Amino acid sequence: MPSKTPRRKTPTTANALTPAQHADSELFLSRELSQLAFNRRVLAQAEDASIPLLERLRYLCISCTNLDEFFEIRVASLRTSIQFGSTTAMDGVAPTALLDQIHEEASALVDAQYRFWNETMRPELAEAGVRILPRDAWSAKQKRWLKDYFEQEIMPVLSPLGLDPAHPFPRILNKSLNVVVVLDGKDAFGRAGGMAIVRAPRSLPRIIRLPEELSGKANDFVLLSAVLTAFVDEIFPGMRVKGAWQFRVTRNSELVVDEEEVENLAHAVRDELVGRGFRPAVRLEIAENCPKHIVQSLLQNFSLPENAVYRINGPVNLNRVIQVYDLVTDRPELKFAPFTPRPSRLDLEAPFDQLRSGDVLMHHPYETFGAVPDLVAHAANDPDVLAIKQTLYRVGRDSPLIEHLITAARNGKDVTVVVELRARFDEEANLRLADRLQEAGVQVLYGVVGYKTHAKMMMIVRREGQRLRRYVHLGTGNYHAGTARAYTDIGLMTANEEIGADVHALFQQLSGLAPSFKLKRLLTSPFTLHGGLLAKIAREAENARNGKPAGIIAKMNALNESGVIRSLYAASQAGVSIDLIVRGACALRPGVKGLSENIRVRSVVGRFLEHSRVYWFQNNDEPEIFCSSADWMERNLLRRVETCFPILEPKLARRVYEEELENYLADNTQSWQLMPDGRYTRVAIEHDGMPHSAQQSLLSKICR
C-alpha cells in the first residue's frame, strides 16, 4: 500500500460553495440514465473485435437482459412514483420528464443493439459458420422442414385468440413472445376477420437447430419468432393473413409485500409470485413495420403512453439468442480460453488448525470457490462441531453447500440458515430451498421484516478442549458456485475472536429480538455502516486540512446515497484525493471545479462481472481496508442487513489493495472514465505506454 499521499489539488478556498449550497441538479447525476450508460458499456464489449465472437454475442444478449430488468424495476418504480404523486428524482428532475429522457436514451441504445445485430453480429457469425437464418435465407429444403416442424411441434400447443366481444384481449405474460395478426375473410362460424393474438408458450424452444443434412452445416439455427410469423397462416385456414408482427410487453416485476401486515412472509411471497407475470405493463416492444393503428390498439390495451413503445428491427426477444452460445459446442476458438482457478489455500485435512494460525483470503473467480463448501463439508462430519449458521441470498441449483448443511443437520449439528425470500428474481428458488432445508431439520429464518438480508456470512462453532471457538467466512458475493466463476469477489476465512463475536451477535439479531450490539470489528447496515463511512470520510477530510496524508479509494457496483456523496464532495474540497471504481450506476459528478475536482470515477467492464466491494482509507499513513457486501447505495446502507469487515493481516491487506484497487486504477484497456456531465469515455493507453487489463493480469498471475 502507498506510503505517501496521492497527488491532489490544492484545497478549495473558503469562498467556495459547500455541497449543501449547490442545487441537486449540480450535485447528482441521474441514477437511471447512469444505469443506461453502463448498459452501453456492456454493448461496447460486444462491439470489440478483439473479443472472441461468441463472447461478443453473449455481451449483446446481456445488454438486452439488463435492459429488460431496467424496465421491470427502475422504470416500473418511476411509473409507480408518478401514480402516487412523487414530484422529483434525486437529481431534481420530475419523474415524467425523466421518463422522456429514459425513452430517448433507451431508444438510442435499442437502435444500437439491433444495428449491431443486423450489420455486424449476424453476418460475422455466418462467416464463422454459425448461422442464425432469417426467413429470406431459408432454402426450399429448409423451409419444408420448418413447415413440418411447425405443424408437428409448434401448432398443437398454440391457442390463437381472435379478438371480438366474446373474446377480449388476452392476458399477456411478462416478456413472453407474441404475434399480433390481422385477418381477412370469415371463420367456420361466419365471423369476420379482424385482429388475433398468437401467444408462444414458454415450453417452446426459442432457438431451433436445423438438421445438418439440410445444408451440410452443423450450426444453422432459426428463431421461433421467425417460424411463427412465416407459417402463421396455417393457424387460420380459410382466412387471409394481411399482416403478422411479433411483440413483447415488459411488466413491473417488483414484489409488493406489506411485511408489517403479513403473518407468514413465505406465504405472502408465494401469493405475490402467482401474479407477478401479469402486473402493470411498462414497455411495449413491437416489430418496426407494424402499422400505427395496431400499435395504438396495443398501447391502449396495456394502458401505456407513447413513450413506452420501442420499434424493433429484429427479434423482440433478442436476448434469447444467448442459447446459441451453449448450443455451439464444437468451436472453442469462438469463446474465451478456459481457465482453471487456483486451488484452495485452505488445508482441507485440518482447516481449523490452519485458521487458528492465520486468516485465509480468496479472490474469486481466480481462486476456487470450492473451499467454502469444502469447509462446511468438513464441519458437517467433525464430531467437535456443534453448530453452523449461514446466510443465503442466492445459491444456485444443486449446490453442494446445501447438501453439506443437510448432512450437518442429520449428523446432529445445530444448523441455522437465514434464507432471503425477497432476493429479486430468485424468490421462487429460495422458497423451494427453504422448504427443503426445513424438511431436513435445518432451522430456517427469513431475516428481519422490512430489511433484506444481503450479508454474506457463515459461522462454525466448535468445541476445543474447555472452550468454544468460532470460525467465520465473510464475503462480498453470494454463496453461489456458478456466479463465483463469473463474478469477481473477495472471501475471508478467519478465527479472529473479535470478528467471530461480531458475527455471532449479528446472527442473534437475525434470529430473535436481540438488542443493537456494539460490535468491535464489523460495520453493519442498517446500524453502523452508513455512519461509519461518513465518519471515515470526514476523518480523511480533517487530515487533509491539517496537512496530513489523506486519501480514499473505493470499489463497488453502484453509488447513489446522497449523504455519502455530499461527504465525498466535502472531502474533495478539503483536498482529499479520491478514486472510485464504480462498475454501474454512479450519481456522483466527478471533476467539477470547486466541488469534486479531486474525485475521479472509473468503470471497468470485462470478461468477469465486477462485484467485489473494497474500501480503503489512508488514515494518516496507517491505512484501513475493508471488504463488504454493500454498495454505497441508499438501500444497502439504510434498508438492508449488510456486513463490512476489515482485512487485518498486513500481507492480506496489501494483497487486496494491490489486486483490487491498484491493479484496477492501472487498467487502460477495459476502463471508462466518468465525465462531469455523466458521459463515459474510454481510458486511453498513454503514449509509449503498455496495455494493462486488470482482469487479464489476475488471470495470468493467479490462474493456471
Question: 3-class DSSP state for residue 361?
Answer: strand
Question: What DSSP element (H or E) covers 552?
Answer: strand 551-556
The CB density around residue 566, as the number of other CB atoms within 10 Å, is 19
Instruction: Give which of 314, 288, 309 is closest to 298, Cα–Cα.
Output: 309
**What DSSP string runs through 90-127?**
TTS--HHHHHHHHHHHHHHHHHHHHHHIIIIIHHHHHH
Measured between alpha carbons, how far is 178 from 156 in angstroms, rounded to an integer? 16
Residue 700 is placed in which grid cell?
495470468
Catalytic residue, from 454, 473, 611, 692: name it: 454
Contact 614, 659 (CB under 8 A): no
Long-range contacts of 439-442 (CB under 8 A, 24+ apart): 440/406, 440/409, 440/410, 441/409, 441/410, 441/415, 442/405, 442/406, 442/409, 442/415, 442/416, 442/417
Catalytic residue status for 404: no
**What DSSP string runs through 397-428?**
TT-HHHHHHHHHHHTT-EEEEEE-TTSTT-HH
Residue 519 is placed in which grid cell?
460490535
Using only C-alpha atoms, the chain has a radius of gyration, in whole angstroms, of 27
Measured between alpha carbons, how far is 571 from 618 in angstroms, rounded to an integer? 13
Instruction: Give which of 16, 10, 38 is closest to 604, Cα–Cα.
Output: 38
Instruction: Give which of 45, 38, 33 is closest to 90, Cα–Cα.
Output: 33
User: Catalytic positions, please?
Assistant: 454
